[in-house]
Amino acid sequence: MVERIMPEPYRIKMVEPVKVPDRDEREEALKRAHYNMFGLRSQDVYIDLLTDSGTGAMSKYQWGALMIGDEAYAGADSFFSLKKAVKEILGFDYVVPTHQGRAAENVVFGTLVKKGDVVPFNMPFDTTRAHIFNNGGEPLDCVIDEAYHPEVQHPFKGNVDIKKLEAAVAKYGKDRIPFVMVTITNNSGGGQPVSLENLRQVSDVCRSHGILLLLDGARMAENAYFIKTREEACRGMSVAEILKETMNTADAITVSCKKDPLVNIGGMVCSRTEELHNSFLPRVILFEGYATYGGLAGRDLEALALGLREMVDEQYLAHRVAQVRYLGDLLGEGGVPCVTPAGGHAIFIDAAAFLPHIPQSAYPADVLGIEIYREGAIRGIGLGALAFATPDETGRIVYPKLELFRLAINRRTYTNHHIEFIAQTILDVYGRRDAIRYGLKEGYAPAVKGMKHFLVHLEPYAL
């Protein structure tokens, strides 16, 4: 059933005009893009759901704060605005800014991961996975089995399977496991939350073995909102309180601030101890900039400090999560197979079930992307074999268990009417799914492991 949705808890002060390209223009754009959604120009897209990263709208307070940015190279006031917000909202004493989330990963993983290491995750995001590889380590998925079944209902499908984690710790030991990392919410598994109870269990396992626990907090506020609405023990708590409790389980976090913290650019590493914080500083200075600006302008730090405060606003979060669910409900009502329950930032269509006649080796998630763009000039992104298939030691291709297509909803950007148009467009594609009978083959592809889907040139071929 489609639940009624409340209107947006904001009003529009500035508009960004967008154009709807006609069908011929869309065909031309697809050819120019080599059928890769990353290759499309923004002006070729009517509704852009490629990512929720850095694509949201800042508030008038954030825009106002840009004017008070302190651009001193070291010790800028704006850094201390950020440090204060981090302490108040997340409880960490130490923070280093970075230019975005993967830069935070580069700093942390480059410091802590050595060749031959294994890093247990619930599931890492694609750039996170690539950064572990890049530092000579291997990520290990320890998410609960329910995560691999799009139709199975579970309130916390991002949870770590504690048995899998304990088995990994028993197998590789503290010497080969520099830390355990939990992604909240689990983006690769459908934007699914992790419960506070589960995080505490993971933390207990880590502490009893002297292993650090890190969180990837890109969507930590949405995760806290899900905990508030789904975890009985936390019902009476505010999102802000839950978020602090969540953070209390971890030794450090990396954050892409382009997501929940509501800025267009920025990242950070927050740590519990001075020792851990200090260990990160040389790499921050080497790759990002001095420790108090880390690749960002002072004005960016001011906007981020406010974004951290705004992200725990419960009216905002209630609408955000409801808007994403509304899209899921409209699609579900029309029979479109999606990961359920709806994620916090995105709806993930089960492309394998949508296009069951297209084998995974022909990249059905990416075929679906092309068809949705063709139908409504809407851009999403395939998260299936093209992004995640990897060869094993013998060269045999290992396909991911999930073949998903993601529609990421930008924060405070699109209205509920846009959501209805998106749903109708996808239902139209669903109505003609049997006639979609082609696959995609690769032309140019970069050699770096984990990078293919961003840059690959694709060519349709008839099946």
- Minimum separation from the CB atom of position 267 to ligand F0G (A): 5
Minimum Å gap between C-beta 190 and ligand F0G is 12
The string over 223-232, giving b where at least 16 C-beta atoms fall within 10 Å of a residue's C-beta and e elsewhere, is bbbbbbeebe
If the CB atoms of residues 121 and 363 are measured against ligand F0G, the closer one turns out to be 121
Specify the residue, 107 or 206, whose C-beta has the smaller distance to ligand F0G.
Answer: 107
Q: b vs e for 286-307, b when ≥16 Cβ sit within 10 Å of the residue's Cβ?
A: eebbbbbbbbbbbbbbbbbbbb
CB of 387 to ligand F0G, least distance (A): 11
Cβ-proximal residue to ligand F0G, closest one = 101
As measured in angstroms, the least distance from the Cβ of 252 to ligand F0G is: 14
C-alpha 295/C-alpha 106 separation (Å) is 13
Decide: is 216 part of the binding site for ligand F0G (CB under 6 A): yes
Residues 21, 39, 51, 375: which binds ligand F0G (CB under 6 A)? 51
User: What x/- string results for residues 94 through 133 when contact with ligand F0G is judged by CB under 6 A?
Assistant: ------xxx----------------------x-xx-----
Give the 3-state secondary structure of residue 156.
Answer: coil
**Identity of the residue, 127 or 416, whose beta carbon is nearer to ligand F0G in the bound complex:** 127
CA-closest candidate to residue 449, choices 139, 108, 40, 122: 139
SS3 of 271-329: the string is: ECCHHHHHHHHHHHHHHCCCCCCCCCCHHHHHHHHHHHHHCCCHHHHHHHHHHHHHHHH
Kindly tell me which of 178 and 190 has the beta carbon lying closer to ligand F0G.
190
> What residue type is 264 in one-letter code?
N
CA distance 330 to 315: 22
Residues numbered 238-267 forming contacts with ligand F0G, rule: CB under 6 A: 256, 258, 267
The one among 62, 183, 271, 292 contacting ligand F0G by CB under 6 A:
183
Catalytic residues: 73, 125-126, 216, 218, 259, 453
3-state secondary structure of 442: strand
Burial of 337 (0-12, 13-18, 19+ CB in 10 A): middle
Between 187 and 430, name the residue whose CB sits nearer to ligand F0G: 187
Contact characters 280-319, ligand F0G, x per CB under 6 A: ----------------------------------------
Residue from the set 122, 187, 271, 323 that interacts with ligand F0G by CB under 6 A: 187
Binding site for ligand F0G (CB under 6 A): 51, 53, 100-102, 125, 127-128, 183, 187, 216, 218, 256, 258, 267
